[in-house]
């Protein structure tokens, strides 16, 4: 039987390798829950779409309808795109946004819907899913780990829940999204996934060792 397009896509999906998969065992070993604990994991293959559009334009209005509203100011996150999922539209600039959705095949065709909404209007919709990966740092000591090397003011009054900002961790550019008081999503470019993953592991070890004792 000839291979259909759907079969070929499924086969290729099975060959995908996340940029930090070689660190998963270390993430599990160093992650410790508890009163001083902190956990780290990679969430691979999330859908990420870069959007450039004037929010005040007709095209912007169509795109906003797809994503549940475009954020209007620095740090704001629009959405969510899927109930029960940490998805949304992150503000990167006055006319630049990063739409984060469920992994391919686990939700609607986000890229297709955004391209349809663009409909040849002024703007840009680009699939960036392979451009970045996603780390999730969580636990009572997660903030302390970030404070060791993040350039942002991370005090809860300055960096509130629901905020996402571009910053640096270990001199590497990332987007940092505060989902909850003790849960953060970190989006480094895929080429820096190994460096950022190991950097975060180094920052976690003192808390893991304290918890073990």
| Arithmetic mean of pLDDT, 20-42 | 86
CA dihedral sign of residues 164, 109, 15, 126:
negative
Q: What are the residues facing 46 on neighbouring strands?
A: 103
pLDDT tens digit string along 97-142?
Answer: 999 998 876 666 888 999 999 988 888 999 999 999 999 999 999 9
b/e string for 128-137 if b means 16 or more Cβ within 10 A? bbeebbbbbb
pLDDT tens digit string along 48-82?
Answer: 999 999 999 999 999 999 998 899 999 999 887 66
CA dihedral sign of residues 134, 196, 27, 159:
negative
Identify the weakest region by mean pLDDT among 30-34, 116-120, 175-179, 202-206.
30-34
CATH number belonging to the domain at 45-130, selected among 3.30.70.1520, 3.65.10.10, 3.30.360.10, 3.40.50.140: 3.30.70.1520
> Is residue 196 predicted with pLDDT exceeding 50?
yes
**Contact in structure between 63 and 122 (CB atoms under 8 Å):** no
So where are the chain's domains?
20-44+133-213, 45-130
Q: What are the DSSP calls for 63-124, one per residue?
A: HHHHHT----STT-EE--SSTTS--EEEEEETTEEEEEEEETTSSS-HHHHHHHHHTT-SSE
Q: Taking the domain 20-44+133-213, which CATH number applies?
A: 3.30.1360.120
Q: Name the DSSP letter for residue 19.
A: T
> Is residue 84 predicted with pLDDT exceeding 70?
no
Q: How far apart are CA 138 and CA 208, in angstroms?
A: 13
**Contact in structure between 183 and 142 (CB atoms under 8 Å):** yes
Domains 20-44+133-213 and 45-130 share a fold: no
Q: How far apart are CA 152 and CA 68, in angstroms?
A: 28
Question: Which residues, including other chains, have CB under 8 Å from residue 204's CB and lie 6 or more apart?
Answer: 30, 31, 38, 40, 141, 145
What does pTM read for this prediction? Answer: 0.86
User: Exposure of 69 by Cβ count < 10 A (0-12 exposed, 13-18 middle, 19+ buried)?
Assistant: middle
Residue 211: its pLDDT value, please?
45
């Amino acid at each position: 039987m000839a291979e259909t397009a759907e079969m070929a896509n499924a086969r290729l999906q099975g060959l995908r390798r996340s940029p930090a998969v070689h660190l998963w065992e270390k993430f599990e070993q160093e992650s410790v829950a508890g009163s001083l604990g902190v956990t780290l994991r990679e969430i691979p293959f999330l859908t990420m779409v870069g959007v450039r559009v004037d929010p005040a334009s007709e095209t912007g209005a169509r795109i906003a309808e797809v994503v549940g509203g475009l954020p209007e100011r620095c740090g704001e996150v629009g959405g969510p795109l899927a109930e029960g999922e940490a998805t949304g539209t992150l503000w990167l600039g006055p006319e630049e946004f990063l739409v984060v959705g469920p992994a391919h095949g686990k939700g609607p065709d986000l890229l297709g819907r955004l391209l349809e909404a663009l409909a040849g209007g002024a703007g840009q919709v680009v699939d960036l899913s392979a451009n970045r990966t996603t780390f999730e740092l969580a636990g009572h000591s997660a903030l302390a780990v970030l404070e060791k090397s993040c350039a942002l003011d991370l005090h809860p009054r300055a960096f509130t829940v629901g905020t996402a900002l571009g910053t640096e961790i270990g001199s590497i550019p990332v987007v940092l999204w505060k989902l909850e008081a003790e849960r953060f999503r970190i989006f480094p470019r895929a080429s820096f996934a190994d460096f950022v993953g190991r950097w975060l592991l180094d920052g976690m070890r003192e808390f893991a060792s304290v918890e073990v004792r």
